Amino acid sequence: MLKSSLSLIKNVVILFLSLFSFIVRSEDSINNIKNSHTITFSYLEGEFPFSYTLAGKPAGIAVDLCKTVAAHIGKELGVAPLQVKWIKVSPAARFQSLLTHKSDVECSNITNTNARRQFLLFSIPYFYASTAFISHKEDHLANIKMLSGHTIFVTSGDIAVEAVAKLNVRLGYSLFTHLSQSAVSAFEEMKVTNNSVFVADDVVLYSLRAASVKPACYDISRDNLIAAQPFALALPRKSIALQKIVNNTMMELFITGEFEKIYNKWFLSRVPPDNVLINMSMPSQLKRDILKWNSEYPGLHAK
């Protein structure tokens, strides 16, 4: 009995110390980076053009932003050059890597939502995506009211699934909804199906159309099922000091015009490995954000 009691106490102490260690780490991201001279970024492999693998290395607009963040953190902490480590994560494990502090910042297209803010911190937005639909140009589908009687392809697990379900109610249950395993498969199925559309983030639709053999055959709606939602870099919940430096870096990029160059590189220029031209102008909400920040922080222009 005594032996089992001591064993129980030992296990409780180990658990407490482990939790204490996690809490200290979670509140001390900046000190960990400063002491180790290292920052760890996580990224997704297949989220073109935000976060993907190119020639065995992470690439994408979110990855470029994180590289700039690393340079600024190194200067801010007096640790230059700061060593950068990258870990590739799956969509299912992207939040876990932040919660367990395997990653300091997630560099991908994470949507900043109220639910996610309960356990994560986010940078200021660097992109906005609306939920729209892509259709065959010959169908002349000008708005969502014209979708009655059509087959709607949507990726399983996407926030668009709920939006399509609500639209189906509005249109008197006249839609034929088909769940696909990925955006690529949904688009491929839509292309060979009459009277059909694919519903997803507009940036996903632009990317898929640009990469298709005949992009001129498809239209992307201006009528949205879900209004613009912000994409941001994500951080562990307690990394407040790190979040401040990340936001300062992002703000400087926006106000000095450097972000526009990064944006144009990924959305208005041809992108490897397939030389794809997405040709998507900067989201209007992001343009409004930049104008607001320019008026609020004019001193940054001098840098």
Taking only the tens place, the pLDDT of each residue in 183-231 is 888 999 999 999 999 999 999 899 999 989 999 999 999 999 999 999 9
Sign of CA dihedral 74, 77, 78, 84: negative
Q: What pLDDT shows up at residue 86?
A: 97
**Location of structure tokens 């001098």:** 302
Q: What pLDDT shows up at residue 28?
A: 56
3-state secondary structure of 165: helix
56 class by beta-carbon count within 10 Å (0-12 exposed, 13-18 middle, 19+ buried):
exposed
Whole-angstrom distance, CA of residue 140 vs CA of residue 148: 13
pLDDT over 50 (residue 23):
no
Q: What pLDDT shows up at residue 132?
A: 96
Q: What is the 3-state secondary structure (H, E, C) of 131-163?
A: EEEEEEHHHCCCCHHHHCCCEEEEECCCCHHHH
Are 135 and 218 a contacting pair, CB within 8 Å? yes
Whole-angstrom distance, CA of residue 166 vs CA of residue 225: 9
pLDDT over 60 (residue 302):
no
Asked which of 124-128, 248-252, 254-258, 294-298 is least confident by mean pLDDT, the reply is 294-298
Kindly report the average pLDDT of the chain as a whole number.
Answer: 87
In percent, the amount of the chain with pLDDT more than 70 equals 89
Q: What are the tokens at 202?
A: 């507009």
Q: What pLDDT shows up at residue 90?
A: 81
Whole-angstrom distance, CA of residue 105 vs CA of residue 108: 9
Are 104 and 224 a contacting pair, CB within 8 Å? no
Taking only the tens place, the pLDDT of each residue in 131-186 is 999 999 999 998 999 999 999 999 887 888 999 999 999 999 999 999 988 888 89
Closest CA to 188 of 235, 143, 134: 134
What long-range pairs does 253-257 form, CB within 8 A, spacing at least 24?
253/65, 253/68, 254/289, 254/290, 254/293, 254/294, 255/290, 255/293, 255/294, 255/297, 255/300, 255/301, 256/300, 256/301, 256/303
In percent, the amount of the chain with pLDDT more than 90 equals 69
Strands 218-220 and 120-122: unpaired
Q: How confident is the model at residue 301 (pLDDT cuts 50, 70, 90)?
A: low
